Amino acid sequence: MTEPSLTLAEFRLLAAAGGAAPSLHNSQPWRFRPTADARGLEVYVDPSRAVPVTDPDGRARYISVGAALFNLRLAAGHLGREASVRLMPDPAAPELAAVLDLSRPADAPAADLYAAIGQRHSSRRPFANRDVPEAVIGELMAAADAEGVTLSPLEEAGVRRVLALTADAEERIAADVARHAETRSWLRLDEPAADGIPAAALGPLDHEARVPMRSFTGYPQAMPSERFEALPQVCTLTTHGDLPVDWLRAGQALERVWLVATTRGVRANVLHQAVEWPDTRALLRDPSEGPGHVQLVVRVGYGQPGTPSPRRPVAEILDLTDRQVDQR
Ligand SMILES: Cc1cc2nc3c(=O)[nH]c(=O)nc-3n(C[C@H](O)[C@H](O)[C@H](O)COP(=O)(O)O)c2cc1C
């Protein structure tokens, strides 16, 4: 059975869900366009939202769009549609990340994960000294696995190794004038930072300068220092390949893991510094785990939920034809 065309309101709901995804520096590098028959959605990587110094290959851009894609799949289920996804369908058009065919009814929408989209925020404050139980970690691993990606929770030695690599990478980022200027260009300094600290008051050493995140470098920070959990719980997300299609999978896995965590009251944030340099990125991989490419480092734990960060209006990320606009 074929479902009718989607309405404008339904396309807007889809775009709002996609647009709520996490992205590097909150760059939101996505665009959505209804298919010609209005029974599907094209998902584009938006090169005008690139972060070229920090992300020269566009890896983080595709990961961010992958996260948006997972939200779109959930939103499709919420609308009673099955999302049949083709990743990178046109080799001649690498900016076309995916096409969603939404013409069939959904079997069983994952309602709790859809509801978690608006509750998920980056939590960069200290977490409690209370471990996320193994059963919940198992659920997070299964969530990544369902997207063809491996989530590996690290043992103490691994955590210390990864945090040391993050410190090394952050030190280099702090010394890189071009990167620093690029990062600041993505900040909205007129707005209060998440967690109530004015963005403009934050010092130059914070990778994501809006946030009171621990400086792993040991340099003084321009914010009150806070005690973080004694041993952070850190996981890596690893893919087999290292092509745009793998980055899209990693992004979908990131969002699935993060939303499952949200439904369990577990907070998370991304530590991206070490994957931004080829040498520290290569060292992130635990050789005992076999081949693979680390795409992201994620910290999980219990603590404050984090606050919402601004999003572009739906009208800016949803491309409509003149005829569709006339229907407003
Ligand atoms: C590829 C990628 C890299 C990111 N890197 C970092 C990071 O290094 N530090 C950090 O605090 N947040 C990082 N984030 C999280 C974003 O800053 C965050 O998703 C964005 O600001 C929107 O906020 P929200 O997650 O609360 O919705 C990253 C997210 C993605 C998808």
Domain boundaries, the chain: 8-109+311-326, 134-301
**Residue 215 predicted with pLDDT over 80:** no
pTM of the complete model: 0.91
Average pLDDT over residues 198-220: 35
Average pLDDT over residues 239-260: 98
Q: How far is the CA of 49 from the centre of ligand 1 (A)?
A: 15
Q: How confident is the model at residue 324 (pLDDT cuts 50, 70, 90)?
A: confident
**Residue 175 predicted with pLDDT over 60:** yes
Average pLDDT over residues 233-247: 97
| pLDDT score recorded for residue 176 | 92
| Ligand 1 touching residue 63 (CB < 6 A) | yes
**Residue 192 predicted with pLDDT over 50:** no
| pLDDT score recorded for residue 57 | 97
Average pLDDT over residues 175-186: 86
**Residue 220 predicted with pLDDT over 60:** no
**Residue 201 predicted with pLDDT over 90:** no
Of residues 209 and 291, the one with the higher pLDDT is: 291
Atom 18, ligand 1: residue with shortest CA distance: 22
Of residues 321 and 80, the one with the higher pLDDT is: 80
Mean pLDDT for the chain overall: 87
Q: How far is the CA of 272 from the centre of ligand 1 (A)?
A: 8
| pLDDT score recorded for residue 226 | 64
> What percentage of the chain exceeds 70 in pLDDT?
87
| Ligand 1 touching residue 208 (CB < 6 A) | yes
The set of residues, in sequence order, having a beta carbon less than 8 Å from that of 148 and lying 6+ positions away, is 239, 240, 249, 253
Q: How far is the CA of 156 from the centre of ligand 1 (A)?
A: 24
- Strand locations in the chain (E): 30-34, 40-45, 81-87, 96-105, 150-153, 233-239, 267-270, 293-301
Of the listed ranges 109-118, 221-230, 270-279, the one predicted with least confidence: 221-230
The angle formed by the CA atoms of residues 152, 158 and 159, to the nearest 5 degrees, is 90
**Residue 93 predicted with pLDDT over 50:** yes
Atom of ligand 1 nearest to the CA of 213: 11
| pLDDT score recorded for residue 326 | 67
Q: How far is the CA of 289 from the centre of ligand 1 (A)?
A: 26
| Ligand 1 touching residue 252 (CB < 6 A) | no
| pLDDT score recorded for residue 207 | 35
SS (H, E, C) 67-113: HHHHHHHHHHHHCCEEEEEEECCCCCCCCEEEEEEEEEECCCCCHHH
| Ligand 1 touching residue 21 (CB < 6 A) | no
**Residue 219 predicted with pLDDT over 90:** no
Q: How far is the CA of 175 from the centre of ligand 1 (A)?
A: 21
Atom 21, ligand 1: residue with shortest CA distance: 26
Mutate to test the pocket of ligand 1, among 119, 237, 270, 296 (most ligand atoms within 8 A of CB): 270
**Residue 59 predicted with pLDDT over 50:** yes
Of the listed ranges 28-32, 58-62, 164-168, the one predicted with least confidence: 164-168
Q: Which CATH number fits domain 8-109+311-326: 3.40.190.10, 3.40.50.2000, 3.40.50.410, 3.40.109.10?
A: 3.40.109.10
**Residue 262 predicted with pLDDT over 90:** yes
CA atoms of 102 and 41, how far apart (whole Å): 8
> What percentage of the chain exceeds 90 in pLDDT?
72
**Residue 214 predicted with pLDDT over 50:** no
- CATH class of the domain comprising 134-301: alpha beta
| Ligand 1 touching residue 61 (CB < 6 A) | no
Q: Do domains 8-109+311-326 and 134-301 have the same CATH topology?
A: yes
Atom of ligand 1 nearest to the CA of 63: 1
- Among 249, 229, 231, smallest CA distance to 241 is for 249
- The dihedrals phi and psi of 277, each to the nearest 5 degrees, come to -120, 130
Atom 13, ligand 1: residue with shortest CA distance: 270
**Residue 117 predicted with pLDDT over 50:** yes
Atom 3, ligand 1: residue with shortest CA distance: 24
| Ligand 1 touching residue 268 (CB < 6 A) | no
| Ligand 1 touching residue 213 (CB < 6 A) | yes
Q: How far is the CA of 296 from the centre of ligand 1 (A)?
A: 11
Atom of ligand 1 nearest to the CA of 25: 17
